[in-house]
């Protein structure tokens, strides 16, 4: 019999499963990929075959034409949908089950089972309630491979309601200006819009052109975002007193000059640190993240209670230290290519 867990190998470009010849979230094109969610640092185009939730595959089709026919009527990059909770049998006797991760629409943790051993790859996750996706489910396993984007004790995300009140308060105080909210185009933007609706904001919300398709995709998957309009179709005066949502990269871009004296806001977990907000010239920092904060990371490790924790992309050092202090076995993986700057 093979050594325990020899069927799972962390490599620089992703987690490799030799018996199934399959990669989890590989950062380069491979023949067989299991993808946790649609963010570009986890989901890349060009895989021969991609196994993911139907929502994630819809996002990947939009971005990379995964699962779509080419001009010759062929499907060069195959899509294999798997519902939450459904078991899919891979080669070499490896089972994969996709479990909600609560990160963005379609996001999943992947539970891998082989020879009675259970490994979970979380991808990205959070523990807060989110109107755009089902909540993270704590699932028992032997090895828990967790993200650590906000793996420092300084990161504590406040309740999102408080941040919404900050945003709406500022908007109301400046009826002749607009509030420009920088938010990651997949997930963060739709969550912010949905939370604004929940907070009672029924005014139209204006979008940067790059946001439109993803918002429509969310709507097609049953997420109600209220009335959305494009900045491109509006005059400067029409935008006064309204919220405009754009990708973070557009915040200080020439594009924003067409807006009426915008108050620059950004929705990101990094906004907890004042200097991070200053570096991005943000006037109204909104501490809103789709990742687990420090308390959620440590709570999740305790609740999952795996024999061993592997920590990836983010501030591994601190979470590793916490595991040591709490007598939990842990190691850091050096995976490349994970970007976390825009969350």
Partner 1 sequence: MEEFAALIDALVYTRSRNEKLRLIAEYLKATPDPDRGWALAALSDGLDFPAVKSSTIRNLLKDRIDPVLWTLSRDFVGDTAETASLLWPAPDEPPSPPSVSETVELLSEMNRKSVLTELPKLLDRLDSSGRYALLKLATGGMRIGVSSRLAKTAFAQGFDVSVDQVEEYWHGLTPPYPELFAWAAEGADPPDIENLPTFRPFMLAHPLEETVVDLADYAAEWKWDGIRVQLVRAGGETRLFSRSGDDISATFPEFLEILPMNAVLDGELLVRGSHQGGEAGGAASFNALQQRLGRKTVSKKMLAEYPAFIRLYDVLLLEGDDIRTLPWTKRRGRLEALASRLPESHFDISSVVEATDFEHLAEIREGSREDAIEGLMLKRRDSPYIAGRRVGYWYKWKRDPLLVDCVLMYAQRGSGKRSSFFSDYTFGCWDGDPDSGADLLPVGKAYSGFTDEELKKLDRHVRSNTVNRFGPVRETDKSLVFEVAFDSVHESKRHKSGLAMRFPRIHRIRWDKPPHEADRIEALRALIAD
Q: Which is nearer to partner 1, 55 or 316 (CB)?
A: 316
> What percentage of the chain's residues is helix, strand, coil (to nearest 5)?
30, 25, 45
Residue 311, classed as helix, strand or coil, is strand
Nearer CB in complex with partner 1: 44/272: 272
Tokens of 146: 């967790």
Beta carbon of residue 241, minimum distance to partner 1 (angstroms, whole number): 20
CA-wise closest residue to 199 among 239, 166, 156: 166
CB neighbours of residue 175 within 10 Å? 10
Q: Give me the residues that bind partner 1 (CB under 8 A), please.
A: 152-154, 156, 272-279, 281-285, 315, 317-318, 321-322, 325
In terms of DSSP bridges, do strands 308-314 and 263-267 run parallel, antiparallel, or are they unpaired? Answer: unpaired
CB of 47 to partner 1, least distance (A): 25
Nearer residue to partner 1 within complex by CB, 41 or 283: 283
**Bridge partners for 94 per DSSP:** 90
CB of 130 to partner 1, least distance (A): 24
- CA 99/CA 134 separation, integer angstroms: 10
- By C-alpha distance, which of 109, 105, 159 is closest to 132? 105
Classify strands 263-267 and 284-286 as parallel, antiparallel or unpaired.
Answer: parallel
User: Minimum CB separation from partner 1 for residue 156, in Å?
Assistant: 8
Q: Which is nearer to partner 1, 205 or 266 (CB)?
A: 266
Q: Which is nearer to partner 1, 9 or 278 (CB)?
A: 278
Beta carbon of residue 282, minimum distance to partner 1 (angstroms, whole number)? 7
Residue 88: CB minimum distance to partner 1, A: 36
Q: Which is nearer to partner 1, 31 or 341 (CB)?
A: 341
Shortest distance, CB of residue 120 to partner 1, whole angstroms? 25
Distance CA 295, CA 157 (A): 9
User: What DSSP string describes 117-183?
Assistant: EEEEE--S---S--TTSPPP-----SEEEEEETT-STT--PPPHHHHHHHHHHHHHH-TTS-EEEE-
Backbone φ, ψ for residue 38 (5° rounding) = -80, -5
The least distance separating partner 1 from the CB of residue 222, rounded to whole angstroms, comes to 36
Q: Using CA atoms of 45, 291, 197, 137 in order, give the dihedral in degrees to the nearest 10.
A: 90
Give phi and psi for 342, each to the nearest 5: -95, 0
State the minimum distance, in angstroms, from the CB of residue 289 to partner 1.
15
Between 28 and 229, name the residue whose CB sits nearer to partner 1: 28
Q: Which is nearer to partner 1, 233 or 253 (CB)?
A: 253
Q: Nearer Cβ to partner 1, position 225 or 318?
A: 318
């Amino acid at each position: 019999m093979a050594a325990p867990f020899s069927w799972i190998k962390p490599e620089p470009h992703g987690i490799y499963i030799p018996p199934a010849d399959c990669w989890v979230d590989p950062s380069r094109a491979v023949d067989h990929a299991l993808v946790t969610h649609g963010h570009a640092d986890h989901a890349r185009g060009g895989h021969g075959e991609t196994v993911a939730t139907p929502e994630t595959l819809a996002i990947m089709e939009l971005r990379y034409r995964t699962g779509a026919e080419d001009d010759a009527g062929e499907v060069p990059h195959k899509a294999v949908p798997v519902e939450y909770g459904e078991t899919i049998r891979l080669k070499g006797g490896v089972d994969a089950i996709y479990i909600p991760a609560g990160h963005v629409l379609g996001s999943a943790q992947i539970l891998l089972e082989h020879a009675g051993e259970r490994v979970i790859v979380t991808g990205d996750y959070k523990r807060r309630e989110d109107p755009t996706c089902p909540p993270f489910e704590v699932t028992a396993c032997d090895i828990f491979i967790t993200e650590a984007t906000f793996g420092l004790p300084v990161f504590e995300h406040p309740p999102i309601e408080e941040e919404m009140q900050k945003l709406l308060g500022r908007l109301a105080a400046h009826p002749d200006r607009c509030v420009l909210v920088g938010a990651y185009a997949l997930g963060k933007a739709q969550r912010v819009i949905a939370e604004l609706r929940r907070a009672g904001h029924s005014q139209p919300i204006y979008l940067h052109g790059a946001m439109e398709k993803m918002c429509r995709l969310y709507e097609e998957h049953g997420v109600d975002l209220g009335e959305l309009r494009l900045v491109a179709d509006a005059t400067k005066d029409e935008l006064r007193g309204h919220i405009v949502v754009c990708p973070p990269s557009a915040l200080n871009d020439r594009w924003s000059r067409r807006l009426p004296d915008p108050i620059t806001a950004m929705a990101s977990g990094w906004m907890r640190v004042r200097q991070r907000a200053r570096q991005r010239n943000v006037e109204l920092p909104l501490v809103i993240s789709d990742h687990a904060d420090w308390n959620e990371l440590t709570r999740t490790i305790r609740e999952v209670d795996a024999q061993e924790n592997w920590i990836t992309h983010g501030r591994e050092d601190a979470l590793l230290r916490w595991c040591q202090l709490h007598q939990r076995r842990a190691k850091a993986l050096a995976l490349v290519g994970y970007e976390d700057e825009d969350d």
